[in-house]
Protein backbone atom coordinates (compact mmCIF):
# COMPACT_ATOMS: atom_id res chain seq x y z
CA UNK A 1 0.00 0.00 0.00
CA UNK A 2 1.39 3.45 -0.83
CA UNK A 3 2.30 5.51 2.21
CA UNK A 4 -0.47 7.84 3.27
CA UNK A 5 -0.35 10.53 5.91
CA UNK A 6 -2.34 9.45 8.94
CA UNK A 7 -4.60 12.12 10.42
CA UNK A 8 -4.51 12.99 14.13
CA UNK A 9 -7.74 12.58 16.03
CA UNK A 10 -8.93 13.58 19.44
CA UNK A 11 -9.46 10.41 21.44
CA UNK A 12 -10.45 12.05 24.72
CA UNK A 13 -9.79 15.65 25.77
CA UNK A 14 -6.04 15.97 26.21
CA UNK A 15 -5.17 12.82 24.27
CA UNK A 16 -4.78 12.95 20.49
CA UNK A 17 -4.10 9.72 18.65
CA UNK A 18 -2.95 9.10 15.12
CA UNK A 19 -5.40 7.15 12.98
CA UNK A 20 -4.26 3.54 13.41
CA UNK A 21 -4.72 0.39 11.39
CA UNK A 22 -7.78 0.03 9.10
CA UNK A 23 -5.34 -0.65 6.26
CA UNK A 24 -7.91 -2.39 4.15
CA UNK A 25 -10.37 0.48 4.62
CA UNK A 26 -7.69 2.92 3.43
CA UNK A 27 -6.95 0.66 0.48
CA UNK A 28 -10.65 0.69 -0.40
CA UNK A 29 -10.63 4.49 -0.50
CA UNK A 30 -7.57 4.42 -2.77
CA UNK A 31 -9.40 2.07 -5.12
CA UNK A 32 -12.49 4.26 -5.17
CA UNK A 33 -10.16 7.14 -5.93
CA UNK A 34 -9.00 5.31 -9.05
CA UNK A 35 -12.39 4.14 -10.29
CA UNK A 36 -14.86 6.53 -8.69
CA UNK A 37 -17.96 5.31 -6.88
CA UNK A 38 -20.84 4.38 -9.18
CA UNK A 39 -23.27 4.92 -6.30
CA UNK A 40 -23.02 7.01 -3.18
CA UNK A 41 -21.46 4.64 -0.64
CA UNK A 42 -23.46 4.74 2.59
CA UNK A 43 -21.61 3.27 5.55
CA UNK A 44 -23.28 2.10 8.74
CA UNK A 45 -22.03 0.18 11.75
CA UNK A 46 -21.91 0.07 15.53
CA UNK A 47 -21.83 3.44 17.27
CA UNK A 48 -18.24 4.32 18.06
CA UNK A 49 -16.76 1.71 15.68
CA UNK A 50 -14.71 4.38 13.93
CA UNK A 51 -16.78 5.58 10.98
CA UNK A 52 -16.07 9.26 11.57
CA UNK A 53 -12.37 8.62 12.13
CA UNK A 54 -12.14 6.69 8.88
CA UNK A 55 -14.01 9.42 6.96
CA UNK A 56 -11.50 11.98 8.19
CA UNK A 57 -8.72 9.70 6.98
CA UNK A 58 -10.55 9.14 3.68
CA UNK A 59 -10.71 12.91 3.08
CA UNK A 60 -6.95 13.07 3.58
CA UNK A 61 -6.27 10.13 1.25
CA UNK A 62 -8.46 11.54 -1.53
CA UNK A 63 -7.02 15.01 -1.19
CA UNK A 64 -3.50 13.57 -1.52
CA UNK A 65 -4.76 11.72 -4.57
CA UNK A 66 -5.62 14.96 -6.35
CA UNK A 67 -9.30 15.11 -5.46
CA UNK A 68 -11.21 18.27 -4.74
CA UNK A 69 -12.65 17.34 -1.38
CA UNK A 70 -15.76 18.63 0.32
CA UNK A 71 -16.01 17.26 3.84
CA UNK A 72 -18.89 17.94 6.19
CA UNK A 73 -19.80 16.64 9.63
CA UNK A 74 -22.67 18.95 10.54
CA UNK A 75 -23.39 17.52 13.99
CA UNK A 76 -19.78 18.11 14.97
CA UNK A 77 -19.91 21.55 13.32
CA UNK A 78 -16.97 20.53 11.15
CA UNK A 79 -16.58 21.62 7.56
CA UNK A 80 -13.49 21.36 5.35
CA UNK A 81 -12.89 22.10 1.70
CA UNK A 82 -9.68 21.08 -0.03
CA UNK A 83 -10.70 22.80 -3.23
CA UNK A 84 -8.34 24.31 -5.79
CA UNK A 85 -10.67 27.08 -7.01
CA UNK A 86 -10.35 29.76 -4.30
CA UNK A 87 -13.64 31.49 -5.11
CA UNK A 88 -15.61 28.25 -4.72
CA UNK A 89 -13.77 27.27 -1.59
CA UNK A 90 -14.29 30.64 0.05
CA UNK A 91 -17.94 30.85 -0.92
CA UNK A 92 -18.56 27.38 0.50
CA UNK A 93 -16.76 28.06 3.76
CA UNK A 94 -18.52 31.39 4.13
CA UNK A 95 -21.87 29.74 3.54
CA UNK A 96 -21.02 27.08 6.14
CA UNK A 97 -19.94 29.70 8.67
CA UNK A 98 -23.26 31.50 8.33
CA UNK A 99 -25.29 28.30 8.55
CA UNK A 100 -23.38 27.24 11.67
CA UNK A 101 -23.91 30.65 13.27
CA UNK A 102 -27.62 30.33 12.61
CA UNK A 103 -27.71 26.75 13.87
CA UNK A 104 -28.99 25.62 10.52
CA UNK A 105 -26.46 22.87 9.90
CA UNK A 106 -28.73 20.91 7.59
CA UNK A 107 -28.46 23.73 5.08
CA UNK A 108 -24.78 22.96 4.54
CA UNK A 109 -25.61 19.43 3.46
CA UNK A 110 -28.11 20.64 0.86
CA UNK A 111 -25.83 23.43 -0.34
CA UNK A 112 -23.12 20.92 -1.28
CA UNK A 113 -24.97 20.21 -4.51
CA UNK A 114 -24.63 23.85 -5.60
CA UNK A 115 -20.99 24.20 -4.68
CA UNK A 116 -19.98 21.01 -6.47
CA UNK A 117 -21.80 22.28 -9.56
CA UNK A 118 -20.04 25.66 -9.30
CA UNK A 119 -16.70 23.89 -9.09
CA UNK A 120 -17.37 21.63 -12.09
CA UNK A 121 -18.53 24.60 -14.09
CA UNK A 122 -15.01 26.02 -13.80
CA UNK A 123 -13.01 22.82 -13.93
CA UNK A 124 -13.62 19.25 -15.01
CA UNK A 125 -12.24 17.91 -11.77
CA UNK A 126 -12.04 14.84 -9.60
CA UNK A 127 -14.54 15.51 -6.85
CA UNK A 128 -15.01 13.81 -3.51
CA UNK A 129 -17.93 14.38 -1.19
CA UNK A 130 -17.54 13.07 2.31
CA UNK A 131 -20.53 13.57 4.53
CA UNK A 132 -20.66 12.32 8.10
CA UNK A 133 -23.98 11.90 9.90
CA UNK A 134 -25.84 14.18 7.53
CA UNK A 135 -29.16 12.41 7.97
CA UNK A 136 -29.57 13.54 11.55
CA UNK A 137 -28.77 17.08 10.45
CA UNK A 138 -31.31 17.22 7.64
CA UNK A 139 -33.90 15.00 9.31
CA UNK A 140 -34.24 11.27 8.82
CA UNK A 141 -37.32 11.61 6.61
CA UNK A 142 -35.21 13.39 3.99
CA UNK A 143 -32.42 10.80 4.04
CA UNK A 144 -33.56 8.94 0.94
CA UNK A 145 -34.16 12.15 -1.01
CA UNK A 146 -30.69 13.35 -0.08
CA UNK A 147 -29.08 10.14 -1.28
CA UNK A 148 -31.07 10.41 -4.50
CA UNK A 149 -29.63 13.90 -4.95
CA UNK A 150 -26.13 12.49 -4.51
CA UNK A 151 -26.83 9.75 -7.05
CA UNK A 152 -28.07 12.37 -9.51
CA UNK A 153 -24.73 14.10 -9.17
CA UNK A 154 -23.08 10.88 -10.30
CA UNK A 155 -25.56 9.89 -13.00
CA UNK A 156 -26.75 13.21 -14.39
CA UNK A 157 -24.18 15.90 -13.65
CA UNK A 158 -24.90 19.30 -15.11
CA UNK A 159 -21.19 19.72 -15.90
CA UNK A 160 -19.01 16.70 -16.44
CA UNK A 161 -16.44 15.50 -13.96
CA UNK A 162 -13.24 13.54 -14.37
CA UNK A 163 -14.17 11.25 -11.54
CA UNK A 164 -16.35 11.32 -8.47
CA UNK A 165 -16.28 9.66 -5.06
CA UNK A 166 -19.15 10.00 -2.60
CA UNK A 167 -19.00 8.48 0.87
CA UNK A 168 -21.62 9.04 3.55
CA UNK A 169 -21.71 7.59 7.06
CA UNK A 170 -24.66 7.20 9.34
CA UNK A 171 -24.84 6.17 12.97
CA UNK A 172 -28.59 6.02 12.90
CA UNK A 173 -29.84 2.42 12.94
CA UNK A 174 -33.10 3.43 11.30
CA UNK A 175 -31.59 5.21 8.30
CA UNK A 176 -30.43 1.88 6.90
CA UNK A 177 -33.99 0.78 6.21
CA UNK A 178 -34.98 4.21 4.92
CA UNK A 179 -32.16 4.32 2.37
CA UNK A 180 -31.76 0.64 1.63
CA UNK A 181 -35.20 0.19 0.12
CA UNK A 182 -34.17 2.25 -2.94
CA UNK A 183 -31.51 1.48 -5.53
CA UNK A 184 -29.89 4.85 -4.85
CA UNK A 185 -27.04 3.89 -2.58
CA UNK A 186 -24.41 1.22 -2.19
CA UNK A 187 -24.74 0.33 1.47
CA UNK A 188 -21.73 -1.05 3.29
CA UNK A 189 -21.40 -2.10 6.90
CA UNK A 190 -18.27 -1.40 8.88
CA UNK A 191 -17.45 -3.40 11.98
CA UNK A 192 -15.39 -2.70 15.11
CA UNK A 193 -11.61 -2.95 14.77
CA UNK A 194 -9.83 -6.24 14.27
CA UNK A 195 -7.98 -7.63 17.27
CA UNK A 196 -4.57 -6.70 15.87
CA UNK A 197 -5.66 -3.19 14.91
CA UNK A 198 -7.33 -2.59 18.23
CA UNK A 199 -4.23 -3.71 20.08
CA UNK A 200 -2.26 -0.98 18.28
CA UNK A 201 -4.77 1.56 19.52
CA UNK A 202 -4.74 0.10 23.04
CA UNK A 203 -0.95 0.44 23.22
CA UNK A 204 -1.27 4.18 22.75
CA UNK A 205 -3.48 4.59 25.83
CA UNK A 206 -1.48 5.66 28.88
CA UNK A 207 -1.03 3.40 31.91
CA UNK A 208 -2.51 2.39 34.27
CA UNK A 209 -4.90 0.28 32.23
CA UNK A 210 -6.40 -3.21 32.39
CA UNK A 211 -4.89 -6.01 30.32
CA UNK A 212 -5.54 -5.98 26.59
CA UNK A 213 -7.43 -9.25 26.92
CA UNK A 214 -9.89 -7.68 29.34
CA UNK A 215 -10.41 -4.54 27.26
CA UNK A 216 -10.98 -6.64 24.15
CA UNK A 217 -13.55 -8.81 25.94
CA UNK A 218 -15.49 -5.70 27.04
CA UNK A 219 -15.33 -3.57 23.91
CA UNK A 220 -15.06 -6.15 21.13
CA UNK A 221 -12.64 -3.75 19.42
CA UNK A 222 -14.90 -0.68 19.52
CA UNK A 223 -12.71 2.43 19.91
CA UNK A 224 -15.61 4.57 21.15
CA UNK A 225 -16.21 2.11 24.00
CA UNK A 226 -12.50 2.16 24.75
CA UNK A 227 -12.74 5.94 25.14
CA UNK A 228 -15.81 5.54 27.34
CA UNK A 229 -14.03 3.07 29.61
CA UNK A 230 -10.95 5.27 29.77
CA UNK A 231 -13.14 8.21 30.70
CA UNK A 232 -14.76 6.09 33.44
CA UNK A 233 -11.28 5.26 34.80
CA UNK A 234 -11.80 1.69 33.55
CA UNK A 235 -14.89 1.13 35.68
CA UNK A 236 -16.98 -1.35 33.73
CA UNK A 237 -19.86 -0.74 36.11
CA UNK A 238 -19.85 2.99 35.43
CA UNK A 239 -19.66 2.46 31.66
CA UNK A 240 -22.60 0.05 31.74
CA UNK A 241 -24.71 2.35 33.90
CA UNK A 242 -23.89 5.18 31.52
CA UNK A 243 -25.27 3.17 28.58
CA UNK A 244 -28.42 2.29 30.55
CA UNK A 245 -28.98 5.94 31.44
CA UNK A 246 -28.19 7.35 27.98
CA UNK A 247 -30.50 4.98 26.18
CA UNK A 248 -33.08 4.92 28.97
CA UNK A 249 -33.06 1.14 28.93
CA UNK A 250 -35.16 0.92 32.09
CA UNK A 251 -38.11 2.50 30.33
CA UNK A 252 -37.51 0.36 27.27
CA UNK A 253 -37.63 -2.82 29.34
CA UNK A 254 -40.72 -1.66 31.23
CA UNK A 255 -42.45 -1.30 27.86
CA UNK A 256 -41.92 -4.99 27.07
CA UNK A 257 -44.26 -7.86 27.83
CA UNK A 258 -43.10 -10.78 30.01
CA UNK A 259 -42.65 -12.84 26.88
CA UNK A 260 -40.58 -10.17 25.16
CA UNK A 261 -38.34 -9.92 28.20
CA UNK A 262 -37.77 -13.66 28.00
CA UNK A 263 -36.83 -13.31 24.32
CA UNK A 264 -34.53 -10.45 25.14
CA UNK A 265 -32.73 -12.51 27.78
CA UNK A 266 -32.31 -15.29 25.23
CA UNK A 267 -30.89 -12.76 22.79
CA UNK A 268 -28.39 -11.64 25.42
CA UNK A 269 -27.04 -15.18 25.37
CA UNK A 270 -27.34 -15.58 21.61
CA UNK A 271 -28.50 -12.78 19.28
CA UNK A 272 -29.29 -15.30 16.55
CA UNK A 273 -32.41 -16.30 18.51
CA UNK A 274 -33.97 -12.96 17.48
CA UNK A 275 -34.90 -13.50 13.83
CA UNK A 276 -38.47 -14.81 14.08
CA UNK A 277 -41.68 -13.20 12.91
CA UNK A 278 -43.18 -12.66 16.34
CA UNK A 279 -39.97 -11.05 17.62
CA UNK A 280 -39.74 -8.45 14.86
CA UNK A 281 -41.12 -5.53 16.91
CA UNK A 282 -38.55 -6.25 19.63
CA UNK A 283 -35.75 -6.48 17.09
CA UNK A 284 -36.84 -3.24 15.47
CA UNK A 285 -36.64 -1.50 18.83
CA UNK A 286 -33.14 -2.88 19.47
CA UNK A 287 -32.02 -1.55 16.10
CA UNK A 288 -33.59 1.83 16.82
CA UNK A 289 -31.79 2.02 20.17
CA UNK A 290 -28.49 1.25 18.42
CA UNK A 291 -27.98 -1.92 20.44
CA UNK A 292 -27.79 -4.52 17.68
CA UNK A 293 -26.97 -4.68 13.98
CA UNK A 294 -29.14 -7.02 11.94
CA UNK A 295 -28.66 -8.80 8.60
CA UNK A 296 -24.92 -9.24 8.78
CA UNK A 297 -25.34 -12.64 7.18
CA UNK A 298 -22.67 -12.30 4.48
CA UNK A 299 -19.08 -11.92 5.53
CA UNK A 300 -17.65 -11.52 2.01
CA UNK A 301 -14.88 -8.94 2.47
CA UNK A 302 -15.99 -6.99 -0.66
CA UNK A 303 -19.28 -6.19 1.04
CA UNK A 304 -17.62 -4.62 4.09
CA UNK A 305 -15.57 -1.54 4.79
CA UNK A 306 -12.33 -2.88 6.28
CA UNK A 307 -12.56 -6.39 7.69
CA UNK A 308 -15.84 -8.18 8.36
CA UNK A 309 -16.56 -9.46 11.87
CA UNK A 310 -15.86 -13.12 12.65
CA UNK A 311 -18.46 -15.65 11.46
CA UNK A 312 -19.58 -16.12 15.01
CA UNK A 313 -18.21 -15.18 18.41
CA UNK A 314 -20.90 -15.44 21.04
CA UNK A 315 -18.55 -14.25 23.76
CA UNK A 316 -18.40 -10.91 21.94
CA UNK A 317 -22.13 -11.08 21.14
CA UNK A 318 -21.62 -11.74 17.43
CA UNK A 319 -24.03 -14.18 15.81
CA UNK A 320 -24.20 -15.25 12.20
CA UNK A 321 -27.20 -13.02 11.39
CA UNK A 322 -27.33 -10.51 14.22
CA UNK A 323 -24.72 -8.98 16.51
CA UNK A 324 -24.70 -6.85 19.60
CA UNK A 325 -22.89 -3.63 18.73
CA UNK A 326 -20.37 -4.33 21.50
CA UNK A 327 -20.25 -6.68 24.52
CA UNK A 328 -20.91 -3.69 26.78
CA UNK A 329 -24.14 -2.88 24.91
CA UNK A 330 -25.22 -6.42 25.65
CA UNK A 331 -24.16 -6.22 29.30
CA UNK A 332 -26.15 -3.01 29.70
CA UNK A 333 -29.26 -4.81 28.48
CA UNK A 334 -28.54 -7.76 30.77
CA UNK A 335 -28.19 -5.49 33.79
CA UNK A 336 -31.29 -3.43 32.98
CA UNK A 337 -33.28 -6.66 32.57
CA UNK A 338 -32.09 -7.96 35.94
CA UNK A 339 -32.90 -4.73 37.69
CA UNK A 340 -36.39 -4.38 36.30
CA UNK A 341 -37.22 -7.99 37.11
CA UNK A 342 -36.04 -7.66 40.73
CA UNK A 343 -37.61 -4.23 41.27
N1 LIG B 1 -8.59 3.83 13.50
C2 LIG B 1 -8.60 4.68 14.56
N3 LIG B 1 -7.44 5.17 15.05
C4 LIG B 1 -7.45 6.01 16.11
N5 LIG B 1 -8.54 6.42 16.74
C6 LIG B 1 -9.74 5.97 16.29
C7 LIG B 1 -9.82 5.08 15.18
N8 LIG B 1 -11.12 4.80 14.97
C9 LIG B 1 -11.79 5.49 15.89
N10 LIG B 1 -10.99 6.20 16.69
C11 LIG B 1 -11.40 7.05 17.81
O12 LIG B 1 -12.41 6.39 18.54
C13 LIG B 1 -13.49 7.26 18.88
C14 LIG B 1 -14.79 6.78 18.25
O15 LIG B 1 -14.66 6.75 16.84
P16 LIG B 1 -15.65 7.50 15.83
O17 LIG B 1 -16.17 8.75 16.41
O18 LIG B 1 -14.97 7.57 14.53
O19 LIG B 1 -16.83 6.43 15.76
P20 LIG B 1 -18.18 6.50 14.91
O21 LIG B 1 -18.36 5.16 14.31
O22 LIG B 1 -18.17 7.65 14.01
O23 LIG B 1 -19.25 6.71 16.07
P24 LIG B 1 -20.76 7.29 15.95
O25 LIG B 1 -21.57 6.14 15.45
O26 LIG B 1 -21.12 7.64 17.34
O27 LIG B 1 -20.74 8.45 15.02
C28 LIG B 1 -13.04 8.64 18.40
O29 LIG B 1 -12.42 9.31 19.47
C30 LIG B 1 -12.05 8.33 17.30
O31 LIG B 1 -11.13 9.37 17.13
MG1 LIG C 1 -19.41 9.32 13.88
58 C-beta closer than 6 A to ligand 1: no
Domain assignment present for 185: yes
Question: Are residues 34 and 179 part of one domain?
Answer: yes
Show the domain range for 66: 8-189
Which of the four pLDDT bands, split at 50, 70 and 90, describes residue 274? very high
Question: Are residues 207 and 315 part of one domain?
Answer: yes
Coil/strand/helix, residue 284: helix
Question: Are residues 141 and 30 part of one domain?
Answer: yes
Question: Are residues 305 and 245 part of one domain?
Answer: yes
Residues 204, 8: Cα–Cα separation, whole Å: 13
CATH for 88: 3.40.50
How far is the centre of ligand 1, averaged over its atoms, from the C-alpha of 226 (Å)? 10
Mean pLDDT computed over 291-317: 97
Nearest atom (ligand 1) to Cα of 55: 18
Number of structural domains the chain divides into: 2
Give pLDDT tens digits for 229-243: 999 999 999 999 999
Handedness of CA 196, 201, 204, 208 (dihedral sign): negative
135 C-beta closer than 6 A to ligand 1: no
- The answer on pLDDT for 172 being more than 90 is no
How far is the centre of ligand 2, averaged over its atoms, from the C-alpha of 122 (Å)? 33
pLDDT at 91: 98
Domain's final residue, options 142, 162, 189 = 189
132 C-beta closer than 6 A to ligand 1: no
C-alpha distances (whole Å) from 115 to each of 11, 42, 119, 299 are 32, 21, 6, 38
Question: Are residues 288 and 326 part of one domain?
Answer: yes
Domain assignment present for 114: yes
Question: Are residues 201 and 283 part of one domain?
Answer: yes
What is the bridge-based pairing of β-strands 41-44 and 163-170? parallel
Residues 244, 227: Cα–Cα separation, whole Å: 17
Q: What is the pTM of this model?
A: 0.97
How far is the centre of ligand 1, averaged over its atoms, from the C-alpha of 53 (Å)? 5
Mean pLDDT of the chain: 96
Domain's final residue, options 124, 158, 189 = 189
Domain's final residue, options 189, 219, 241 = 189
Residues 343, 336: Cα–Cα separation, whole Å: 10
22 C-beta closer than 6 A to ligand 1: yes
Give pLDDT tens digits for 25-69: 999 999 999 999 999 999 999 999 999 999 999 999 999 999 999
43 beta partners: 169, 188
- DSSP 8-state secondary structure symbol assigned to residue 279: G
Amino acid sequence: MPRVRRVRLSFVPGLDIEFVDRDRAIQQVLEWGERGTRFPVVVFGPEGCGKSAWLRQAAEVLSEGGYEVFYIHPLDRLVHAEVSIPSVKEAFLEFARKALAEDAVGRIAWALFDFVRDLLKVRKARVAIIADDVFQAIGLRYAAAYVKGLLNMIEHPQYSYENIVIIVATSEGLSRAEIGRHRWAWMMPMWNMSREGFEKLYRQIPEPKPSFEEVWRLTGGNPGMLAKLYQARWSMDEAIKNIITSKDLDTFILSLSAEERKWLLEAVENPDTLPAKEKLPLMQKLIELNLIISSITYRDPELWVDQPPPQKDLELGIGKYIAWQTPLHREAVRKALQEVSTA
